[in-house]
Chains A and B, each alone.
Chain A
Amino acid sequence: MIYTFAILLMGIGMYGLISQKNLFKQLISLTIVDTAVNIFIIAVGYVEEGKAPIYFKGAVDSSVRFVDPLPQALVLTAIVIGLGILALGAVLLIKINEKHGNLDVEKMRGVEE
């Protein structure tokens, strides 16, 4: 179920990335794909009735079921890199808007066909 949701979200992002002409909408679509991939990776590591992978008082490894910690660690990396890409992309869009007056690829000034 969660797999289906995440993959449909990926499909929505891909559709936006291909069909939109506005660069800002394309950046948002890229972020949607990013989020969908994160949801998918987290879902791969889920164990039914599993606890968050932190040892707490009274926890012995055989009595507690933890969810898989490795996908969570990988997604922690992916979120930070997604943030960096989003910031850099937004700044590039600011610069493109200053230079060409528009973010639509067909209405930009000073761009040869």
Chain B
Amino acid sequence: MRRFFSALLAVLFVYIIFQFIQVLPDYGKVDLSKRVSERFVLKNVSEENGKVVFGKSRNLEDGSANIVTSVVVNYRSFDTLGEVTVLFVSALGVGLYLGGFKKLSCKIRVNNILHIGGGIVFPLIMLFGAYIFTHGHLTPGGGFPGGTVIAVSVLLLYISDEKFTVSREKSKLLEGTMGSLYVIVGILGLMIGGFFLFNFMPTGTVGKFFSSGVIPIVYSIIGLKVGSELSGIVTDLFMEEGWK
């Protein structure tokens, strides 16, 4: 009986949503020129620019080649600050509930190949994560995927090495420093440009590594912060009860 009523409710929900999406344009038939996104694509939100040419256009209001990155870190950076705060609060909650100090002992002995291979692969994965978050303005990726890759390398070390642990004080210190640096970048923008998180550095040429002002800096900050936060969550899940 309960299953019948829940199925009825779910069908009703689906029906109502179907009524709502009738106002949307058909799939794939979107006209970008009627949406605000066209201004993000052409980089003329606050000033006219003309055409954007890869490798030639200089000193636009936002010099990032990856438009998603320019939306996330430049135009809607305040939103990203809130998102990072949400992630911080959830990592804090995980740490509060699972605050152990002894590592869970694995019943199975770690194979030698996994132990040595993990040690070899770990710095390469870490380097790949750093590459992803420093090139967020040129290629797909950015701070969040890069930070996740770094956390995955930490997880690999947890699996392959029985004695390995991340110092919780150091990871919290890195996380807090990076969070404060993000706010400091925002306040610098407020002092120099008049807006919170204003892009106050020269934006350079589209497509060059040293371009688009504060975007690579902010994305590196986010990458380190997300990496240390997710490593903290992994550490908490691997720790047993028992306070020091």
Contacts and interface: CB of A to CB of B under 8 A. Distances in A.
A59 B68 contact: no
B30 A47 contact: yes
Contacts of B53: 59-60
Among A12, A14, A65, A95, the most chain B Cβ lie within 10 Å of the Cβ of A14
Nearest to A98: B241
Given A53-B67, A55-B207, A76-B68, A48 B29 contact: yes
Interface in A20-76: 43-48, 52-62, 65-66, 68-70, 72-73, 76
B27 A59 contact: no
Interface string B78-120: 0110010011011101100110000000000000000000000
Contact of A10 (B14, B51, B93): B14
- Secondary structure at the A interface, as helix, strand, loop or mixed, is helix
A75 to B, nearest CB: 10
Nearest to B35: A68
B71 A14 contact: no
B67 A66 contact: yes
Interface string A75-89: 011011101110110
Q: In which size bucket is the chain B interface?
A: 35 or more
Given A88-B93, A92-B97, A55 B65 contact: yes
A81 B67 contact: no
Given A46-B28, A70-B35, 20 more contacts: A7-B21, A8-B14, A10-B17, A11-B10, A14-B13, A15-B6, A15-B9, A18-B5, A19-B7, A48-B28, A54-B67, A55-B54, A56-B54, A59-B53, A62-B51, A68-B30, A77-B72, A80-B226, A88-B93, A91-B237
Nearest to A54: B66
A15 B7 contact: yes
Given A7-B21, A11-B11, A81-B83, A88 B207 contact: no
A58 B54 contact: yes
Interface in B1-42: 2-3, 5-7, 9-11, 13-14, 17-18, 21, 24, 27-30, 32, 35-37, 40-42
Interface of B: 2-3, 5-7, 9-11, 13-14, 17-18, 21, 24, 27-30, 32, 35-37, 40-42, 51-55, 65-68, 71-72, 76, 79-80, 83, 86-87, 89-91, 93-94, 97-98, 138-140, 142, 144, 206-207, 226, 233, 236-237
A57 B56 CA distance: 10
